[in-house]
Structure 1
Amino acid sequence: MKIRKLLPYLLLLLGSVIMLFPFVWMVSTSLKAPIDIFSLDIIPSNPTLDNYLKILEESLFLRWFINSLIVAVITTISVLFFDTLVGYIIAKFRFIGRTFIFFLVLSTLMVPTEMLIIPWFMMSSELGWTDTYWAILFPGLMTGFGVFLMRQFMEQIPDDLLNAARIDGMNEFAIFFKIAVPQVWPAISALGIFTFLSNWNAFLWPLIAIESPELRTLPVGLSFFSSGEAESQWHLIMTGATISVVPIILVFILLQRHIIKGITLTGMK
């Protein structure tokens, strides 16, 4: 019986070690001197912070970090507002073409991102957005997945609750912000994490849309430390990757409590 009770914890421990090992190795490499980066020591024998000082002083890393932060924050705020609002309208308003619009939104999820690169680039070029923040931002300001997710959660809100607010004289925006949004905080938190993570790690489109080194995002900037297998500066790549993980961890810590709270209270609502 003791072995049977311990087995799930042992499996979880094994899975945790497998998941955390690349992260530990990344942090360890960032603390090693260039001559020691291929050593198998998990704990560096001579840890140093020179890599952090070098990447901050001798590159545009800080500017790339700010660029990624601007892009990720703006797109996340835009997606949370517009996708939640559209999901609410599709779920709770009855109008002609509602189902068709919803399926039209879903159809965008079936198109691979790689097929959208050329239309995005042509649009950016014609409107003069190339090599600007707007060129990176506009494809991610709304997402079909976010609309689908929020519509599914909005469907679960009782219509009687919204009608009671209308009878009390609330306008639709007040009903949306004060009644509907608090009911779907777990979904909004999950969508916020997914959106921030995807835009923070975006590589292909920012690489195509941006030419100026000062406007590169963090993934694009870090890729230039790897100019070839013999010349790759692995200590700087690992150092930059270690710093880039910090905002993602902070976003998850801030939003995960809403997800856990929603799961805990689901049966009580």
Structure 2
Amino acid sequence: MTAVGLRAPRPRIRPASVVTFLVMAVVTAFVLLPVAIIIFTAFKPVAEVNAYPPTLLPTEWTLDNLIRILEELPFARLALNSVIFAGGVTLCALVFDSLAAYALARIDFRGRGVLLVLIIASLMIPFQATLIPVYQLVAELGWINTYQGLIAPRAADAFGIFLLRQFFLALPRDLDNAARIDGASEFRVFRSVVLPNVVPALMTLGVFTFVNNWNDLLWPLVFTNQAEMGTITSGLTLLTGPGGIIPYGVMMAGSLLAVVPLVIGFLFVQRRFIDNIATTGLK
């Protein structure tokens, strides 16, 4: 007896799956709502931005907010400063954090545990508590309104050291020992054996560091007082109107322009990020 001509039974839809889908759809809508508000407000005229009750979709689309940003701000210079600042901090953090994490995870030396506790304890110190001493040091070095003044104080991060250390601890030490038996130096073991197996961790730390510094407002606002040395986020504060009036449409347009490079960068990085996770431990 054959099953030719018989229709395959339709998959049953479980009520739990429907409920899960609806909950995820609602949560996704709430998460995307602020993004939608930024996008639509960026294309609203001033009168509609200040209208009450507010509306989500603009009734009249305009590019005036984007044009004002490009005309009143040196936007190309601000974008370049943001790339140099965020990219420089990210590169320095990956180098110094990985070196410190490797030493704490793979090298036995006296005081390693105490040093690790001190690094973790530094995470509990508020950023604002160290801002003034760091500013005084940067000012004494003459680094105000310079790239090194923006990048150097953030060249290493306690969170990055701790994160990479945990990844280094998960790697088998047989890899290190085999390389040392073959005559590899400690730096060669670090560069050729350990680092290729923690690329997902490096990319994760790099993405977090780059995004945090790209979106940072307080740091470039404190360490730069010249418009041509500011970043996109600090440059938007120059658009505040008389009496402290905030042009929300212009601010949303600036936020939209600041987010676009991050989205484009993520689209280029995501495939390599997934591939590196899939091949971890096979290099």
TM-score, L = length of structure 1: 0.91
SS of 2:239's partner is: coil
- Structure 2 residue aligned with 1:14: 26
2:256 paired with 1:246: no
SS of 1:155's partner is: helix
- Structure 2 residue aligned with 1:79: 93
**Percent identical residues:** 36
More deviation, 68-77/183-192: 183-192
- Structure 1 residue aligned with 2:37: 25
Q: What is the deviation of 1:173? A: 2.7
1:208 to 216, 222, 225: 222
2:47 to 35, 49, 71: 35
SS of 1:55's partner is: helix
2:17 paired with 1:5: yes
Q: What is the deviation of 1:247? A: 2.3
Q: What is the deviation of 1:149? A: 0.5
Q: What is the deviation of 1:71? A: 0.3
Q: What is the deviation of 1:229? A: 7.3
2:251 to 223, 228, 237: 237
More deviation, 225-234/30-39: 225-234
Deviations 1:6-29 (A, max 9, x none): 111111111111011111111111
2:125 paired with 1:102: no
2:212 to 192, 198, 205: 198
- Structure 1 residue aligned with 2:159: 145
Q: What is the deviation of 1:265? A: 6.5
More deviation, 248-257/140-149: 248-257
Point out the structure with max Rg over C-alpha. Answer: 2
Task: State how far apart, in whole Å, the 2-side matches of 1:134 and 1:226 are.
Answer: 28
Task: State how far apart, in whole Å, the 1-side matches of 2:24 and 2:68 are.
Answer: 38
In the alignment, structure 1 segments of 5+ residues that lack a partner are none
Contact 1:32 1:46 in 2 (8 A): yes
Q: What is the deviation of 1:203? A: 1.6
SS of 2:35's partner is: helix
4+ long deviations beyond 6 Å? 265-269
- Structure 1 residue aligned with 2:235: 221
Contact 1:30 1:236 in 2 (8 A): yes
Q: What is the deviation of 1:88? A: 1.0
Task: State how far apart, in whole Å, the 2-side matches of 1:182 and 1:266 are.
Answer: 8
- Structure 2 residue aligned with 1:128: 142
More deviation, 88-97/57-66: 57-66
- Structure 1 residue aligned with 2:198: 184
Contact 2:198 2:280 in 1 (8 A): no
2:185 to 148, 164, 171: 171
Deviations 1:171-201 (A, max 9, x none): 3333222221121122112111110111111
Aligned length: 269
Q: Which letter does structure 2 place at the counterpart of 1:48?
A: T
SS of 2:62's partner is: coil
Deviations 1:88-140 (A, max 9, x none): 12111111122122222222111100000111111012111122222221221
Q: Which letter does structure 1 place at the counterpart of 2:199?
A: W
TM-score, L = length of structure 2: 0.87
* Cα distance change on mapping 1:6 and 1:268 into 2, 3 Å: farther
Task: State how far apart, in whole Å, the 2-side matches of 1:268 and 1:172 are.
Answer: 21
- Structure 2 residue aligned with 1:65: 79
- Structure 2 residue aligned with 1:50: 64
